[in-house]
Copies of this chain bind each other. A is one copy, B any other.
């Protein structure tokens, strides 16, 4: 076993095994046209030489870098970190490596990352686009899969997201069954498509249950704890009578609402019921622990990586995948004893 100052190449291995480079290449990529014994010998020589395939060279010649890109708002955000983990797992299992970038919800940064991905000659990318305007990717001609809700606008591309409609119905049914038929809605920013989808489903659900959608009250937050707290304060300022139920569009706002309720001297779930949406770890430790609807973050990542690999392989069915969410019952929603006969799931759309 010789140590060289530069990493060994197939030529070194070839010399060691007494064959030509193409034979080595064949042995390495287990092609069919090779004698089983020579392959063994070559592999042994490769190991002896401490040979590691140069993926740069492979990528250059074959057009497959073995790299895939992930562009998400923020890898430090626990939800996206879970997504990244799922994507990473699937990628690794299939011999690909994951390049991770955070866009910070900034359009310019996102564009810059996308350019970097092009330069790195990634085989494809998984993207949660900042804005709805997303023509850049198409121009790029880079295989990609959309993750999240913005996919609606791009029917010709594959996408993976959580089934928001199903989740909202799940939450509404749960609330309804416990006597909360007209929850306040703590919504995210107006221009985000997830909000629209959420609200649309609420309206449909109301109509199906003979509730006048005009009576529904929304308060806007910005997906942060502070935003949730402020929104809850506005709700409280309306001096509502009786028990208050709140359905938040994400857990952070729900937690903020819980804080605001406590600060106002109100008990949760005594005076206030709060239902979250996301399933962040912190929800398990709040007092009371947050009842919430969990998005399948890791599965989302896995499936998006899988879809991307499919797209790259040329299996071109631009699939739209919606993964179901799950209700995690903890302690933040009171049971006022409601319409017990209600079926838990309403007909699909």
Q: Which residues of A contact B (CB under 8 A)?
A: 7, 52-57, 59-60, 65-67, 74-78, 81-82, 84-85, 88-89, 92, 97-102, 113, 115-116, 118-121, 255, 280-287, 298
User: Given the known A-B contacts A119-B53, A285-B282, A287-B287, are A78 and B78 also in contact in the complex, defined by CB atoms under 8 Å?
Assistant: yes
Pair A119/B52 contact, Cβ less than 8 Å = yes
Q: Which residues of B contact A60 (CB under 8 A)?
A: 54, 56-57, 60
Q: Which residues of B contact A98 (CB under 8 A)?
A: 99-101
Selected A-B contacts with CB under 8 Å, 13 pairs: A53-B119, A54-B119, A55-B121, A56-B60, A76-B81, A78-B81, A85-B102, A88-B100, A92-B116, A97-B116, A280-B281, A285-B286, A286-B287
Nearest CB of chain B from residue A116's CB, rounded to whole Å: 6
Q: Which residues of B contact A118 (CB under 8 A)?
A: 7, 52
Pair B65/A75 contact, Cβ less than 8 Å = no
Pair A84/B75 contact, Cβ less than 8 Å = yes
Nearest CB of chain B from residue A187's CB, rounded to whole Å: 21
Pair A92/B101 contact, Cβ less than 8 Å = yes
Nearest CB of chain B from residue A108's CB, rounded to whole Å: 13
Nearest CB of chain B from residue A129's CB, rounded to whole Å: 18
User: Given the known A-B contacts A76-B81, A118-B52, A255-B285, are A99 and B102 also in contact in the complex, defined by CB atoms under 8 Å?
Assistant: no
Pair B76/A298 contact, Cβ less than 8 Å = yes
How far is it, in angstroms, between the C-alpha of A256 and the C-alpha of B121 when the chains are bound?
Answer: 46
Pair A76/B66 contact, Cβ less than 8 Å = no
Pair B121/A56 contact, Cβ less than 8 Å = yes
How far is it, in angstroms, between the C-alpha of A284 and the C-alpha of B233 when the chains are bound?
Answer: 20
Q: A56 is contacted by which of B65, B89, B286 (Cβ under 8 Å)?
A: B65
Closest to A258 in B: B285
Q: Which residues of B contact A81 (CB under 8 A)?
A: 75-78, 81, 84
- Other than A67-B120, A75-B85, give 8 A-B pairs with Cβ distance below 8 A: A56-B60, A75-B75, A76-B85, A81-B84, A97-B116, A98-B99, A280-B281, A287-B287
Q: A75 is contacted by which of B88, B282, B287 (Cβ under 8 Å)?
A: B88
Q: Which residues of B contact A115 (CB under 8 A)?
A: 52
Nearest CB of chain B from residue A42's CB, rounded to whole Å: 17
Q: Which residues of B contact A54 (CB under 8 A)?
A: 60, 119, 121
User: Given the known A-B contacts A56-B60, A100-B84, are A78 and B287 also in contact in the complex, defined by CB atoms under 8 Å?
Assistant: no
Closest to A290 in B: B285
Q: Which residues of B contact A66 (CB under 8 A)?
A: 120
How far is it, in angstroms, between the C-alpha of A121 and the C-alpha of B97 when the chains are bound?
Answer: 12
